[in-house]
Amino acid sequence: MTSASSSASSYSSSKPWIYDVFLSFRGEDTRKNFTDHLYFALKDAGINTFRDDNELRRGEDISTELLQAIQKSRISVIVFSRNYANSRWCLEELVKIMECRRSCRQLVFPIFYDVDPSDVRKQTGSFAEAFARHDERFVLQTDKGKVATWRMALTEAANLSGWDLRNVADGHEAKFIKKIVGEILRELSSTYLFVAFYPVGINPRVQQLNFLLNAGSSEVCIVGIYGMGGIGKTTIAKAMYNELFHSFDGKCFLANVREISQQPNGHVKLQEQLLFEILKKDKIKIGNVDRGMNMIKERLHSRKVLVILDDVDKLDQLQAIAGSRDWFGSGSRIIVTTRDKHVLTVLGADQVYMAREMNDIEALELFSWHAFRTNHPVEDYKVLSEQIVDYCGRLPLALEVIGSFLFGRSIVEWKSALEKLRRIPDDQIQKKLQISFDGLNDDTQKDIFLDISCFFVGMDKEYVLPILNGCDFFADIGFSVLTQRCLVSVNEKNKLIMHDLLRDMGREIVRVQSPNNPGRRSRLWIREEVADILRRNMGTEAIQGMAINLLKVNEMKVDVNVFCNLQNLRLLQLNHVKLGGGCEYLLRKLTWLCWHGFPLSFIPDGLYGENLVAIDMRHSNLRQVKNSKFLLKLKFLNLSHSHYLSRTPDFSGLPHLEKLKLKDCRSLVEVHHSIGYLERLVLVNFKDCKQLMRLPDSFWKSKSIEILYLSGCSTFDELPEELGDLESLTILHADDTAIRQVPSTIVRLKNLQDLSLCGCKGSTSATLPSRLMSWLLPRKSPNPTNLLPPSFHGLDRLTSLSLRDCNLSDDSLPRDLGRLPSLTNLELDRNSFQSLPAGLSNLLRLTSLRLDDNTRLQTIPALPRNLDILRASNCTSLERLPDISVASRLRLLYIANCSKLIEAPGLDKSRSITHIDMEGCNDISNTLKNSMHMGSFSGLVLPGNEIPALFNYKNEGASILFKLPEFDGRNLNGMNVCIVCSSHLEKEETKQIRIKLTNYTKGFTKKFRAVAINLVKSCEDHLWQGHISNNFFKLGSEDEVELIVDSLNTMTVKKTGVYLIYEQDEARLKAKRGLDSDDRAGSSCDNLLQAKRMRFETCQQNIEENMDMA
């Protein structure tokens, strides 16, 4: 295999390695105890782990199998024990591991098991004894070099961040192992883009492009990749994304820019996707392109981002998404792929990279992988393979498609195919690709390919395949053949995707059916051609599919007579086209009808084709849907946003309906009772149907419904007892409805996974007639706080429970809330309870708990141990948190504006928390504050107006000039930066800072990434503290530096301080955090009472003045 391919394996997929973890250990020390327990814990967590099980290793040299296992592992975990250095084999493993760390970006984590990291780093203690024996044994100069290599590898490994059993989990091995497994799972969770099944030749191209990106520069850099279609621009860009994205605050890969920009509001969709991918915020809506340009600049100008724009062909696309460098923060990188170099010239790209054809060796290898599933040709096919590769012009896409086409075929078939290839001009990719189309088994497979290429690229596979099956195309097997032959594929969101060249190849096949008369082609998709045919009534029986997508401002009106000649029409999309007259011509073969903005108040009989599989009439003017036809094949009915529709159709004639979408049908008041007899109905969406008060009794007897959306149905006020009969229900969303009480029968929903009832507080403004009716027909729970049943026991599969803003009191919460074994997300914001059920700690899978804005909440029970995020901001009655250290995986703690909060036990011992927001928590003790100031948190917000005394360097204002001391053998881990700040901006506006450091000794300036600070009480002084690793600034002993905090005009920085943290200090702090809670002075109750007395005896100003400040 070529070096290109062997080194490019890291780009093949989102998990390009064979093993997740390689374990290196000394067998006689730990095989039958710690390492064995760690190995099985990793396996139980689904982590593919390699462990050498050879008890007795023979020979002097490490085996090839082990070397390959190390190289093919994402992470290496080294278990250093007392006798580790006695083993030459272990030391050779270690050298290979450190080599892979440098060359392949392998992650390496040391574990110090009953051994001092200093002994490993400096080869003292038992390691000194081992090396004394090595020195005696290896006396030759070459052998001495090997021993020196071992020493360097030990020193390098011991300096890495890892785990010391003595300082983690109080030495308890089980907890220690759990901590390790959790950290490894987090490291493996990074999202990569799939690049290629056979990533031949990618590595050298990525290296060339990486050089052009100038990674060390803090400037915003734009690099363009240009070349012909199918040359591999997108593949290279994806590999670059995987290579770089870890180093940026935000990242976004915008695929298919050209295609999306041609859609209605396409530029806006791209802008929304860009902001969503980087900011990770739902419901980002942009009114127009100009507003979107401003939003991108406003939101991203202080973020270091990686943005890749794939397949750009016009300047306006770039102007809408990346119009100027100052839209993005320092150090950002913008990569653009295009077929047109001129676009990059006009853009003013800093560097351009021309994607070139593969060399002969790479091309033959890539072709061989697809044609033979190996890296070289079978001997009998070698000459033919070289001829075909030469003919393909070393174009990657052609090599893949043709190689896949020839896979498994005989030499006779290969020769015949080559003869056919030679009839196609070398410079026309279209004709090169059509060979795969011509090789399809039958006409149905060809029709599937052409339908997808003309109409369905980007649509959901589960939506498209039934439509194609309705055309008698046997789409399931046909689609499988197409994917096997690399003609179409499915992305991670189950959307149909097709390379531009393959799509264009299919469309060109249709175009040449009648180059000069579009009305005689089988499929029409070009807006101007479709509009011309509709206006001039030039359609013929040849037309099987027609699609036009107009904006409302470009609405056109067509006469119904245009359909009389379209008797073979199967697929019809006429978005925002107006119809003149009634349609009496029955389109019997129609399987897909998509007519957004349908102009009539009813559906004419002529559109009720008996073969219809999908009707999509969103934003229609429908007032009624007649039931004159049986649509026995209809599976999808979408009438969403039809604001005049008051009643659903009779569903009796739709026995195979699977998905019903009536979202935002604002006039809908009645759902036909026949809906309950649809045995295949799985999804029902009534979201925002504001006048819908009830569903028919028959609905609740359905055995098939899996997903039910009722959110926003503001007059919907009752879930009946029969709710428990929906045995297949997995998702129930009923936010902001008038539901007063959830029936106890909900516990019979054994498959329920997601329940959301946010904003359900009952009707608060009922009319007099409705009140009279409520008196005559009393409900079980007129009190809106009795929303929930007394028990949730039985909902064993529930993973998400959202009960925000439901006015729940203490008695309203089920006492067995802690008995939901699958629950991972619990949202209880803005309620009225004072305490929570004590059993929450039993929710072992709970990772997110939200309690914001519960102003009456006084206590929180013990936390689940696997909790990742705790939000309890604005809980103004909360006085004490539970023991934070119990939640050993807690990363994010948001408890801002808990004005009565006094204690946060265990917070000073937590080793997992990275961000803490305690703004407005003015009563917490100075001891706790100082403990947190000593920690290495990524973000910390505390009340205060003075830099703490422990900070080595302080200054007024937003800058500080200082000289580092001599390190005296210490290793600088990093620095804590603290500022006193306030802001005049409104609460919802983002406050940000960017830290810049100039090293006058070494002559460089670096900017740290922008950091968001969420101040609730913006006008008050607060302390913000963050930790910056020395890996970023690389400061040395006695360096003279200046640190500047740029507030980006969002706040005022009044004071600045720096506290240096050395590795030795951090080790002592970790040891201190490991002390038992009994070692603290005073009991929790004593501390609580003392703090309460202080609150009454001393005003807040005095508390601040008496803090341990400089």
Write down the pLDDT at residue 584. Answer: 61
Check whether 549 has a pLDDT greater than 80: yes
pLDDT tens figures, 297-312: 999 999 999 999 999 9
What is the mean predicted confidence (pLDDT) over 147-152?
92
Check whether 231 has a pLDDT greater than 70: yes
- To which H or E segment does residue 244 belong? helix 233-244
93 is catalytic: yes
Strand pairing partners for 312? 338
Asked whether 862 and 840 are in contact (CB, 8 A), the reply is yes
Check whether 286 has a pLDDT greater than 70: yes
Band of pLDDT at residue 615, cut at 50, 70 and 90: very high
Write down the pLDDT at residue 712. Answer: 96
Write down the pLDDT at residue 730. Answer: 98
What is the mean predicted confidence (pLDDT) over 219-246?
88
Residues 92, 93, 400, 827: which is the catalytic one? 93
* Residue given tokens 């396996």 in the structure block: 43
In angstroms, rounded to a whole number, what is the distance separating the alpha carbons of residues 585 and 567? Answer: 9
And the tokens for 892?
A: 């994010």
pLDDT tens figures, 176-186: 999 899 888 86
What is the mean predicted confidence (pLDDT) over 970-993?
79
In degrees, rounded to 5, the angle at the alpha carbon of residue 888 between the alpha carbons of residues 167 and 896 is 115
pLDDT tens figures, 33-65: 999 999 999 998 888 999 987 644 444 466 788
Structural domain boundaries in the chain: 17-188, 202-354, 360-438, 443-511, 915-1105
Task: Name the more confident of 432 and 223.
Answer: 223
In angstroms, rounded to a whole number, what is the distance separating the alpha carbons of residues 803 and 25? Answer: 49
By DSSP bridging, strand 892-894 and strand 754-756 are: unpaired
Write down the pLDDT at residue 138. Answer: 83
CATH no., domain 915-1105 = 2.60.120
Fold matches, 202-354 and 360-438: no
User: What DSSP assignment string belongs to 819-855?
Assistant: G-TT--EEE--S---SS--GGGGG-TT--EEE-TT-T
* Residue given tokens 């780009």 in the structure block: 11
In angstroms, rounded to a whole number, what is the distance separating the alpha carbons of residues 549 and 796? Answer: 46
Check whether 133 has a pLDDT greater than 70: yes
Write down the pLDDT at residue 763. Answer: 42
Write down the pLDDT at residue 1094. Answer: 35
What is the mean predicted confidence (pLDDT) over 87-104?
89
- What are the φ and ψ backbone dihedral angles of 919, each rounded to 5 degrees? -55, 135
Chain-wide mean pLDDT for the chain?
Answer: 85
Check whether 14 has a pLDDT greater than 60: no
pLDDT tens figures, 870-898: 999 999 999 999 999 999 999 999 998 99
- What are the φ and ψ backbone dihedral angles of 616, each rounded to 5 degrees? -125, 100
Asked whether 1009 and 1027 are in contact (CB, 8 A), the reply is no
**Secondary structure of residue 635 in the 3-state scheme:** coil
Percent of the chain at pLDDT exceeding 90: 52
Q: Which of 562, 517, 524 is nearest to 546 (CA)?
A: 524
What is the mean predicted confidence (pLDDT) over 197-218?
86
Interior/surface letters 265-293, b for 16+ CB within 10 angstroms, e for the rest: bbbbebbbbbbebbeeeeebebeebeebb
pLDDT tens figures, 405-415: 899 999 999 99
pLDDT tens figures, 348-368: 899 999 888 899 999 999 999
Write down the pLDDT at residue 11. Answer: 47
Percent of the chain at pLDDT exceeding 70: 87
Q: Which of 90-94, 336-340, 826-830 has the lowest mean pLDDT?
A: 336-340
Write down the pLDDT at residue 989. Answer: 57
Band of pLDDT at residue 74, cut at 50, 70 and 90: confident
In angstroms, rounded to a whole number, what is the distance separating the alpha carbons of residues 675 and 684? Answer: 10
The CATH H-level superfamily of 202-354 is P-loop containing nucleotide triphosphate hydrolases (3.40.50.300)
Asked whether 765 and 738 are in contact (CB, 8 A), the reply is no
Considering the segment(s) 17-188 as one domain, its CATH architecture is 3-Layer(aba) Sandwich (3.40)
In angstroms, rounded to a whole number, what is the distance separating the alpha carbons of residues 530 and 538? Answer: 10
Q: Which of 373, 250, 392 is nearest to 308 (CA)?
A: 250
pTM above 0.85, yes or no: no
Asked whether 108 and 23 are in contact (CB, 8 A), the reply is no
Q: Which of 681-685, 780-784, 857-861, 969-973 has the highest mean pLDDT?
A: 681-685
DSSP state letter for 965: P
Write down the pLDDT at residue 1104. Answer: 33
And the tokens for 346?
A: 């006009």
In angstroms, rounded to a whole number, what is the distance separating the alpha carbons of residues 487 and 252? Answer: 26
Which of these CATH numbers, 1.20.1380, 2.70.98, 1.10.8, 1.10.287, describes 360-438?
A: 1.10.8
Question: In 470-525, where does DSSP find H-type helix?
Answer: 475-484, 500-511
Check whether 322 has a pLDDT greater than 80: yes
Band of pLDDT at residue 1092, cut at 50, 70 and 90: very low
- What are the φ and ψ backbone dihedral angles of 76, each rounded to 5 degrees? -110, 135
Write down the pLDDT at residue 768. Answer: 41
Write down the pLDDT at residue 1105. Answer: 33
Write down the pLDDT at residue 927. Answer: 77
Asked whether 977 and 1045 are in contact (CB, 8 A), the reply is yes
Write down the pLDDT at residue 324. Answer: 92
Band of pLDDT at residue 1067, cut at 50, 70 and 90: low
pLDDT tens figures, 1079-1091: 333 333 333 333 3
Band of pLDDT at residue 550, cut at 50, 70 and 90: confident
Strand pairing partners for 305? 250
Q: Which of 320, 191, 309, 296 is nearest to 256 (CA)?
A: 309
Sign of the alpha-carbon torsion through 8, 14, 19, 25: positive
**Secondary structure of residue 677 in the 3-state scheme:** helix
Cα–Cα distances in Å, from 808 out to 753, 784, 812, 831? 22, 8, 5, 5
In angstroms, rounded to a whole number, what is the distance separating the alpha carbons of residues 842 and 861? Answer: 11
